């Protein structure tokens, strides 16, 4: 569990006044072991909870006081943070923690959640409330925000908080009862001492991660197998799309050629029309010359007409004389 860095009294005024996330602020018990209705507010430093028998427990929260049911308080913290009943060495099942005569028990723990190491402060606020309810047949975990509003109720969500604040209630370096201290100090079993190094926890975490990775890889392989026919179909569609785009380009080119063809006809007609216009202009330019020639001939026409009449009359006279001679000769010959 986290240790506090703030001061609780004048004797430790040299310590920073900022609170560290993960400190246990309050513990409330209802019908738990020997407590009917008990509440403890912890201070900001190491707390020694002592009883008349003189025993002392190191608790990873902060308070000074003389209370009854010291072991019950320590056990309640363990149970609240997910420890099994057998792990507390106080009972075999959780229902054994219910006070005699009561039907259920409640453990209410408030955890400081301020500072840089706060856990999801946007959800929980400056306090995380862990509430464990135990009945004869079942038990439940409820996580609440600083206003007491229910946020989550899954054990996995509690596990996230425990891992974030590095709370390991089953580790003898974190929680050590009298029985565990005697067992740990006098035990020649290296496994018990190895457990205190947290290496087993790291190893378990690595195994869990490895298992999740293998599971994820299996899911990836299944997804890849599912995706392959989809990719094949997608590629085929892509080819069709490319073909359609090519056909569309050809269609556009055809339309452009049709337009060019239509304009080529217009261009040819315009060219021919322009040639005819040029010829017309040339002919128009010759009109004055021709008209001048016509006018000149018209001027000569009366003279030519009179000359023609004279020529005709002369030839008529000659023709008449020739006709008479021919007639005379014809008579003589006959």
Element (H, E) at 44: none
pLDDT of res. 334: 67
Q: What is the DSSP letter of 90?
A: S
Burial of residue 50, with CB atoms counted within 10 A of its CB: 0-12 exposed, 13-18 middle, 19 or more buried: middle
Nearest alpha carbon to residue 73 among 85, 59, 87: 59
Tokens, residue 133? 């309810």
- For residue 148, how many other CB atoms are within 10 A of its CB? 11
User: In a structure prediction context, what are the per-residue pLDDT tens digits for the chain, which is 334 residues long?
Assistant: 444 333 334 333 334 445 688 889 999 999 998 888 888 898 888 888 777 664 444 343 333 333 347 788 888 999 999 888 887 777 888 888 898 899 999 999 999 999 889 999 999 999 999 999 999 889 999 999 999 999 998 888 999 999 898 888 877 777 777 766 776 677 666 766 666 566 677 788 788 899 999 999 999 999 888 888 888 888 888 888 888 888 888 888 888 888 888 888 888 888 888 888 888 888 888 888 888 888 888 888 787 778 888 888 887 888 888 888 788 777 777 6
Would you say 191 and 171 are in contact if contact means Cβ atoms under 8 Å apart?
no
Nearest alpha carbon to residue 105 among 63, 133, 85, 142: 133
Would you say 110 and 127 are in contact if contact means Cβ atoms under 8 Å apart?
yes
pLDDT of res. 58: 36
pLDDT of res. 169: 82
Radius of gyration (C-alpha) of the chain in whole angstroms:
60
Strand 104-112's sheet: what is its strand order?
Answer: 35-41, 24-32, 104-112, 127-135, 139-144, 150-152
What is the CATH topology of the domain spanning 10-193?
Rossmann fold (3.40.50)
Tokens, residue 311? 């020529």
Q: Dihedral sign for Cα 14, 16, 17, 21, please.
A: negative
Q: Dihedral sign for Cα 268, 272, 277, 278, please.
A: positive
Pairing verdict, β 64-66 and 56-59:
unpaired
Write out the E strands in 79-211.
Answer: 104-112, 127-135, 139-144, 150-152
What are the φ/ψ torsions at residue 65 (nearest 5 degrees)? Answer: 180, 165
Single pTM value for the model: 0.51
Q: How many residues does the chain have?
A: 334
Would you say 87 and 78 are in contact if contact means Cβ atoms under 8 Å apart?
yes
Would you say 161 and 119 are in contact if contact means Cβ atoms under 8 Å apart?
yes
List residues bridging with 291 in a β-sheet: none
């Amino acid at each position: 569990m986290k240790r506090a860095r703030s001061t609780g009294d004048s004797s430790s005024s040299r310590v920073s006044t900022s609170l560290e996330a993960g400190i246990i602020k309050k513990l409330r018990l209802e019908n738990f072991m020997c407590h009917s209705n008990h509440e403890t507010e912890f201070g900001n430093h190491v707390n020694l909870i002592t009883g008349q028998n003189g025993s002392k427990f190191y608790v990873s929260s902060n308070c000074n006081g003389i209370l009854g049911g010291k072991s019950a308080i320590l056990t309640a913290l363990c149970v609240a943070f997910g420890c099994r009943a057998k792990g507390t060495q106080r009972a075999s099942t959780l229902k054994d923690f219910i006070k005699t005569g009561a039907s259920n028990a409640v453990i209410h723990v408030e955890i400081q959640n301020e500072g840089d190491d706060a856990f999801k402060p946007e959800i929980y606020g400056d306090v995380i409330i862990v509430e464990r309810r135990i009945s004869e047949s079942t038990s439940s975990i409820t996580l609440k925000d600083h206003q007491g509003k229910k946020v989550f109720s899954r054990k996995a969500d509690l596990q996230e908080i425990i891992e974030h604040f590095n709370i390991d209630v089953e580790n003898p370096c974190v929680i050590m009862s009298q029985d565990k201290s005697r067992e740990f100090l006098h035990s020649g079993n290296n496994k018990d001492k190895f457990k205190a190094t947290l290496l087993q926890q790291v190893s378990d975490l690595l195994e869990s991660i490895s298992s999740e990775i293998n599971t994820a890889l299996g899911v990836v392989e299944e997804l890849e197998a599912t995706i392959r026919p989809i990719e094949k179909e997608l590629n085929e569609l892509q080819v069709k799309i490319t073909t359609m785009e090519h056909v569309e380009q050809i269609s556009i080119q055809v339309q452009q050629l049709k337009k060019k063809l239509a304009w080529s006809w217009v261009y040819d007609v315009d060219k021919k029309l322009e040639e005819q216009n040029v010829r017309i202009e040339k002919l128009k330019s010759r009109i004055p010359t021709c008209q001048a020639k016509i006018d000149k001939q018209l001027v000569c026409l009366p003279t030519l007409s009179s000359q023609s009449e004279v020529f005709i009359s002369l030839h008529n006279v000659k023709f008449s004389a020739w006709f008479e001679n021919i007639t005379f000769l014809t008579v003589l010959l006959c």
